[in-house]
A and B are shown apart, each in its own frame.
Chain A
Amino acid sequence: MERIRTTLVYVLLTLVTAVALFPIGYMLLIAGGEGERFAEGGQTLFPQTAGEMPGNLAGNLDTVMTDGTLDFRRYLRNTLLVAILAVSGTVVSSAMVAYAFARVRWVGSKPLFMLMLATMMVPFPVIMVPLFTMFRELGLIGTFGPLWIPAWFGNAFSIFLMRQFFMSIPRELDDAARIDGCGHFGIFRHIMLPLATPALLVVGLLHFMFVWNDFVGPLIFLSHRDQFTLALGLQLFMSRLGTTPWHLLMSATTLMVGPVLVLFLLTQRSFVEGISTSGTKG
């Protein structure tokens, strides 16, 4: 009885894993395929013989990157630029504000912290139109500005995560630093930042994933193809093709999925912790 039960658990685990990973394998399979075979309707899901194994992924990726009409190299560059500006902004500003909520003992700090948590409830569509008109007044529509400038003003979720981490650092360390003549800046610089490096990395990582995956922001704020990020480029590629070269589309998708997948595999633990703390996806 017990053995049947154990076997059943493993069978179910294998099934679930197969379903979870199948679409990723499918993407790679098609991404490595030959275009002509698809056009003839000859491409089947599973190669018939070993000789038909797809192995053209590198070539297809190269086409997607360098072909002037696809130009994913430019989209990649744009995405990385926005990501660098936004991630550095979020980490710097959120660390400062988190320090204020964790260590500066002002009476109004608690209510403001609650207010900050409440702002996470405001759905994006509500502020979408006003944000667009505001950035339009500033002449920033069609630039990267709207995608990274707000990041320098602290991000509620990042502040929350970092504040929780700062709170776990013993206050005795602050007191010791204070006796040595440190003010708030000294404590922040010499105690908090060195000890909170893992938290800074988690926040940076999660925000990088957010920028990399973000579709609605670029959709609303960018206007020229030259500025598109990967997410927008992928949608453009999908929408403008009547006779979709699926193998190239899946190569472009691989280009977008690959880095996220690698980052996740390298940093799973902090990832899962971040998710457990928040309960939401980015």
Chain B
Amino acid sequence: MKRDGFLTFLPWAAPWLAGFVLFTALPVGLGIWYAFTDYTLLEPPIMVGTKNFARLADDPILGTVAWNTFFFGLLSIVVGTVLSIALAVLLSKPARFQAFWRSAVFVPSVLPLIAVAAIFKLGFDGELGAANQLLGFIGVEGPNWFGSGAWAWTALLLMSLWGVGPAVVIYLAGLRDVPKQLHEAASLDGVGSWGRFIHVTLPMISPVILFNVVIGIINAAQVFVMPLVMTGGGPGRSTYFFAMYVYDQAFQYGDMGYASVLGLVQFAAILVLTGLVLFLGQRFVYYRGA
């Protein structure tokens, strides 16, 4: 088979090659450079060495946003994983109208985040919201959801769980690939359905779990729209997350240098955490044919 030269490849790949240089490589390079400068947009950047990095050490807000982001991510990934596997198992049972049930679970995740945030903001409104009205029906007086940190977190968590659809679809595909013979063999050995789930299904779908957890980490590190619109970071700074802080440093306080440092910290955190999860995953994940 005849090979092509670079000159044949170039015109076809030109849009992406140019785009890679302009919209990925150059911004990443500039971002690293800005991290070492004082840059307020009003004047050209001035080199200040590692001053911006030194600020990380005594930035009291950084600890808050890092902890909030980490803990909320952990919570939503753990609860989200359990919920989406449970939903996938339920949706994989033979049932009529299966396409309908599956679509219903998936639908929330295609809606615009900002629209979903608007619905949930009203839904959790202390006086008018559906949540407290429904609680009222069963005689429970609902809390003022956005008035306390713990309840605001609960509202945000419920909203993020409402969008587990894509993970469920991926788990469904994973469940479909679990060989039937394994379940049959385990049944013959007298293993009950819970035992088969733990000892057959879970190990077989463990690579899918690992994949979804990694995607979950990347998404959780960037949570932005949902808290911005629902709580504005409050009450206090209880729902103030990392990406919001980067945005505020850049576009509210105009401190592009420090915002760039924070962006790099975020990138490094994502790389370290996904790397760690992938490394630990090697020990727990069962790869067929490995």
| Interface residue ranges, A against B (CB under 8 Å) | 9-10, 12-13, 16-17, 19-24, 26-27, 30, 38, 41, 43-45, 93, 96-97, 99-101, 104-109, 112, 115-116, 119, 121-134, 136, 150, 152-154, 156, 159, 184, 209, 212-213, 215-216, 220, 230-231, 234-235, 238, 246, 249-250, 252-253, 256-257, 260-261, 264-265, 268, 271-272, 275-276, 279-281
Contacts and interface: CB of A to CB of B under 8 A. Distances in A.
Contacts of A133: 30, 34, 41, 256
Contacts, number: 250
B115 A97 contact: no
The 9 closest A-B pairs by CB, nearest first: A153-B19, A100-B12, A130-B27, A127-B27, A154-B16, A130-B30, A106-B9, A93-B15, A100-B13
Nearest to A23: B119
Interface residues of B, number: 91
Interface of B: 1-6, 8-9, 12-20, 22-24, 26-31, 34, 41, 87, 90-91, 93, 95, 100-101, 103-116, 118-123, 125, 127-128, 130, 133-134, 162-163, 166, 169-170, 173, 211-212, 215, 218-219, 221-222, 224-225, 229, 243, 246-247, 250-251, 256, 259-260, 262-264, 266-267, 270
B20 A119 contact: yes
A281 B108 CA distance: 12
Nearest to A100: B12
Contacts of B173: 276
Contact of A9 (B13, B20, B93, B120): B93
A280 to B, nearest CB: 6
A257 B24 CA distance: 31
B130 A154 contact: no
B258 to A, nearest CB: 10
Contact of B31 (A44, A130, A264): A130
23 contacts: A20-B107, A23-B120, A44-B133, A45-B134, A100-B13, A105-B1, A105-B3, A106-B3, A116-B20, A123-B263, A123-B270, A125-B246, A125-B262, A127-B24, A127-B31, A128-B263, A130-B260, A133-B256, A150-B19, A212-B112, A253-B119, A260-B111, A281-B166
